[in-house]
């Protein structure tokens, strides 16, 4: 299967911080971009819009937190609202929600394995989680031939 050509941004939305990652136009390598403070939502959306302008992605992938059973709780509802607001602010660039179960755990394990202290590197964990979300999304598209996750429809 083939991957649509184009850079993507991935976002790991948290209460305090928002991790951002990007990939090359061929979708080979996902890399950390930055951690955006998440407490001031309007400021976070402004910064994310600036990153979209700077990186000119094909789409933005937002991690959707689900429980291990696949259910969606309050965190998922908050994430959906965040993604909808982001989609309105960056259209015509599309926003897709992808399952992010276990990404923070995977990111923390990877950082520990590389000798980084998880306590000191909270902002790094958010970026690393965004990298894992993006790598998973790229792999899903590579295997299935379809864009990953679900498209966020902007309702006007």
Across the range 39-66, mean pLDDT stands at 96
Report the pLDDT value the prediction gives residue 116, as an integer from 0 to 100: 65
Q: Give the integer Cα–Cα distance in Å for 9 and 78.
A: 19
Across the range 57-84, mean pLDDT stands at 91
Q: Give the integer Cα–Cα distance in Å for 59 and 61.
A: 7
Tokens, residue 37: 């403070």
Domains of the chain: 8-151 (3.30.420.140)
Statement: residue 85 has pLDDT above 80 = yes
Report the pLDDT value the prediction gives residue 118, as an integer from 0 to 100: 55
Report the pLDDT value the prediction gives residue 102, as an integer from 0 to 100: 60
Per-residue pLDDT tens digits for 91-134: 999 999 998 876 666 666 666 666 666 555 666 888 888 999 99
Statement: residue 42 has pLDDT above 80 = yes
Is the model more confident about 102 or about 4?
A: 4
Q: Give the integer Cα–Cα distance in Å for 54 and 43.
A: 17
What DSSP assignment string belongs to 123-136? HHHHHHHHHHHHHH
């Amino acid at each position: 299967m083939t991957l649509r050509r184009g850079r993507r941004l991935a976002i790991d939305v948290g209460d305090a911080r928002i991790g951002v990652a990007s990939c090359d136009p061929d979708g080979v390598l996902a890399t950390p971009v930055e951690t955006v403070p998440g407490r001031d939502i309007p400021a976070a959306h402004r910064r994310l819009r600036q990153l979209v302008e700077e990186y000119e992605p094909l789409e933005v992938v937002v991690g959707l937190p689900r429980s291990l059973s696949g259910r969606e709780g309050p965190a998922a509802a908050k994430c959906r609202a965040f993604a909808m607001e982001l989609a309105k602010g960056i259209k015509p660039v599309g926003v897709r929600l992808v399952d992010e179960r276990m990404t923070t755990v995977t990111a923390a394990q990877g950082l520990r394995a590389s000798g980084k202290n998880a306590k000191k590197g909270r902002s790094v964990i958010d970026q690393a989680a965004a990298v894992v979300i993006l790598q998973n999304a790229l792999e899903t598209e590579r295997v299935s031939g379809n864009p990953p996750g679900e498209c966020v429809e902007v309702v006007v």
